[in-house]
Structure 1
């Protein structure tokens, strides 16, 4: 009986030893990089237990304005402290004297630390070059002055720049053969998405210090600075934005209480986005939340009377508005008595400056007999219909700079374009007409250039870390027909009259430091809710055009103010910036 029990116990011990041996083989030889159902990398976990790491740069490429100033981050010299200093006798007083901070603050932050950190909390203390040199000259283990990349809480032009995710599912779908780590970000909206292949991290830059089992330093093992194996990364995406003007634009849009809408500013000569603001803001806690993540400046909406510019171009080129022709602006577009806005009898120029619907309804009915496609045709000639952003052949594929840019349209159903009543309503920017604020700005830039229509760029180039250019984006013209130089000149005069005429809808802009040409627009978008889109689009200076600007407030109501005042203050702010501290381009 005793022998039988001993044999059973021996067998049990052997099985237990075999099981433990098998487990050790699995841990140390078989599943070292994907242990358990959680795919734990045991090698990495082991290394983490023996090291303390301070990340300096995540390795993902970054965005800069046209003058090379970072838009979403800054790189500053900081004081890095490792928590094992708590177990050492180190000259804290010397470090405190160098950075001009009390010694007790150093020790207080250090006492609470479990990982290496930059002294100063969420806003680390920014060191001078002299302070950085003096700290590193002390050669204290666990005390370093390094340059660290710090992400801004609020990114400039956040909708244009876009958002990121660590989603393993999306990474596997987008880059099935890359084997990206769980900590790697990829772009899902904006420029972060369209330029993602350039921006992907090639590895972090970090400080690594080896420690013993109790967390103390392994003396004789120096701190290591680890950086990506490829010195060409991370890349720099040089955008077309002017960060001074962009910052001013965002403040003004918020000051004017724009809940839905924004503004877009184009450099006319270069056909570049100088500033762009979309509201509502992105929800930083849930950046993919639907309403806030959309860039309204790239989305279709109803333009209202801004679209009369297209009808005017068609009427001019078909000689429908000879000198002396007048229109009864006491009647609505449907020939009824105007209940509110009685303007009397007006000629073509005053009809445009005072925004008489009847005039452009009548012209549309006449144009429908000549060419039922006139609105689509002239919208295209003015760079308003279709996509506006830069696109072209790059790396054997059609590359588009702007993410999810929508195309403008005139008709939902082309079969109704011969209906004169519907054509009249479309001619004043109602009915089915949908355009993006960016395209409206491009229309104004096209007119200011005398009819030359171009694609609009948001990025000038992508540079490698050593400064060489990886890819650039030369200016490109938009395909298709243009308006004649004569028509462009007449449109310029009409747009200027909106501001110079005493009863013009833009008369409040007549005293600005730049001469303005432009067009207002109010569109009904929700009849039941009495919702309105309010626009002002134009360019300046009139005689030497430099900027095209669109301001828009979407889904507002009758009682809310329009956006002409926002346009006005934006022009004043640009004048202030450009005359006080000009930055060479």
Structure 2
């Protein structure tokens, strides 16, 4: 009986040892980088227990504006102190004198510190290059003057650039063959997501020192500088955004109370985005809550009368724009009396300038009778359907897209709707199922200004290696498909200018601007209501200067009452701002 007990006890001990050994093997050899269901990296955790570090640069690539200025982050020259200084005698007086930071402030900051820090964080005290040089010449252990990367509090074009975050499952899904830390930031929206693979870090730049269990320094007080030291990576993205124009545009959008909507500004020559503002803004405390993360400039919206530009293009080519023909603009498109916009008999040109619904409802039905696909074809020719953001082959990616979340536009939802003359009439005035993104509308204006040549819109001009040399250049590319003729484009240009110069035109408010404007207004019923009152999308889209086109601009205010939320003042102020800006350009 005793032998059996001893054998049983011995068996349990051996089994227990085997379980412990298996567990140790699992921890030490097998699952060192993804332990347990939480995927804990044991190697990283063990290193963190033995060290304290200050990350100078997280190693992820950066976004620059077209002039080379950082957009999402900034580099600041700061004073860095290590917590072991509180237990040492060091020349705090000299550091205080050079930096201009009082000894009291330095001591207080150290007393509260449990890890290395930049003095003044989160609003660090910025040092000059001379101050940095003098502080580092003191050679005080644990005292460094360095250039550190900080995320900006307010990020320009934040929805366009996008957000980053930690997501272990998504990281492994995207990059199953890459050896990346589970704390690696990945892009989750905007250009951060589109260019994510290029922006991935090779490693962090940091200052490190080893500590014992109580946080005291091991191996003396030597601080080690760790840097991936790769002259090529991470790469950076040179966007087409002009940071100065972007900030001024955001200020104007907020000044004019655009709560839902925004603007997009294109450089016509390069067909690239100079500024993009989307509202509501991202909630900085909880970025993924609400609709602020959505870039409304690349989401489809109801166009209203902006779409009459497409109908006009088709009518011109089908010779329906006869100068002597008059349309009864005292009637709605259904033939009922038009009480609010009773314009009487108007010509084609006058109808466009005053945005007569009856005219373009009739024309749309005539075009549909000739060819049920006519409106769709001309919407495509003017780049309103499909996507307009740059896409093409980049290295191993055959269809790389700069704007991953860009919506396509549309005219009809079904083939049956194309055959219905009443649906065609409603579509002719930009209602029913007609949708397009503000970016596509801006591109339509740029296309007309260029004489009909339609191109992809760029938000980034190139990917640059860390040393500044070019890795990939995003050259100008034409959008595939048919285009309108230069003759049709010229007639559209005159129509768009007539909207402004006509005393009764819907754009008459822009007659006295420093740049001559051509454009089209739009007020679309959304089908949404507030206190039983219909909500509208209000647009103005155009280009300028008229004789020598440089900018295409779309301003839109979404889901507002008919009596509120106009965009004319915003558009006008943008034109004035750009004129003043260009005056200062050599």
TM-score (norm 1): 0.93
Is this contact kept in 2: 1:33–1:39, CA < 8 A? no
Q: 1:542 to 1:573 in 2, by over 3 A?
A: same
The answer as to 2:540 corresponding to 1:536 is yes
Q: Which residue of 1 aligns with 2:112?
A: 112
The structure-2 alpha-carbon separation of the partners of 1:36 and 1:356, relative to structure 1 and needing over 3 Å to count, comes to: closer
Contact 2:528–2:559 (8 Å) recurs in 1: no
Q: Is contact 2:304-2:431 (8 Å) kept?
A: yes
Partner residue, 1:33: 32
CA contact (8 A) 1:32 1:43 kept: no
**Which of 577, 581, 584 is the matching residue for 1:577?**
581
Are 2:472 and 1:471 aligned?
yes
Q: In the TM superposition, what is the alpha-carbon distance from 1:540 to its structure 2 partner?
A: 0.4
Aligned partners of 1:244 and 1:577 also within 8 Å: no
- Could you tell me how far 1:218 is from its partner in structure 2? 4.3
Deviation larger for 459-468 or 339-348: 339-348
Residues 375 and 18 of structure 1, relative CA distance in 2, 3 Å threshold: closer
RMSD: 2.5
Paired with 2:401 and 2:513, the residues of 1 have a C-alpha distance of 37
Structure 2, unpaired ranges of 5+: none
SS in 1 for 2:524: strand
**Is the 1:372–1:417 contact (alpha carbons within 8 Å) kept by the matching residues of 2?**
yes
User: Is 1:70 the equivalent of 2:70?
Assistant: yes
Q: Is the 8 A contact 1:71 1:243 kept in 2?
A: yes
Quick check: 54-63 or 286-295, which moved more? 286-295
Superposed counterparts of 1:203-218, under 5 Å: 203-212=203-212, 214-218=214-218
Q: Deviations over 1:330-367 (max 9, x none)?
A: 11111111021111221111111111111111212222
Secondary structure of 1:247's counterpart equals: helix
Alignment of 1:91-240 (within 5 A): 91-212=91-212, 214-218=214-218, 222-228=222-228, 230-240=230-240
Tell me what 2:286 maps to: 286
Q: Is the 8 A contact 2:168 2:183 kept in 1?
A: no
2:245 counterpart residue number: 245
Tell me if structure 2 keeps the 8 A contact 1:208–1:225: yes
Measured against aligned partners, the alpha-carbon deviations of 1:387-424 in whole angstroms (never above 9, x if no partner) come to 11111122241111112111111101122212222211
Structure 1 runs not aligned, ≥5 long: none
Partner of 1:429: 430
Q: TM-score normalised to the size of structure 2? A: 0.93
Q: Equivalents in 1 of 2:272, 2:450: separation in Å?
A: 14
- SS of 1:536's partner is strand
Alpha-carbon distance change, 527 to 87 in structure 1, aligned in 2, over 3 angstroms: closer
> Which residue pairs with 2:61 in the alignment?
61
Cα displacement (A) at 1:287: 2.6
Q: Is the 8 A contact 1:52 1:82 kept in 2?
A: no
Distance 1:398 1:214 in 2: 54
1:560, distance to aligned residue in structure 2 (A) = 1.3
Preserved contact between residue 368 and residue 375 of structure 2 (Cα < 8 Å): no
The 1:19–1:365 alpha-carbon spacing in structure 2 relative to 1, beyond 3 Å, is closer
**2:344 corresponds to 1:344:** yes
Change (3 A) 1:207 1:390: same
Residue 30 of structure 1 deviates from its aligned partner by 4.4
Cα deviation for residue 17 of structure 1 reads: 11
C-alpha displacement of 1:376: 0.8
State which drifts further: 92-101 or 222-231: 222-231
Residue matched to 1:446: 447
Maintained 8 Å contact 1:187/1:196: yes
- Shift of the alpha carbon at 1:121? 2.2
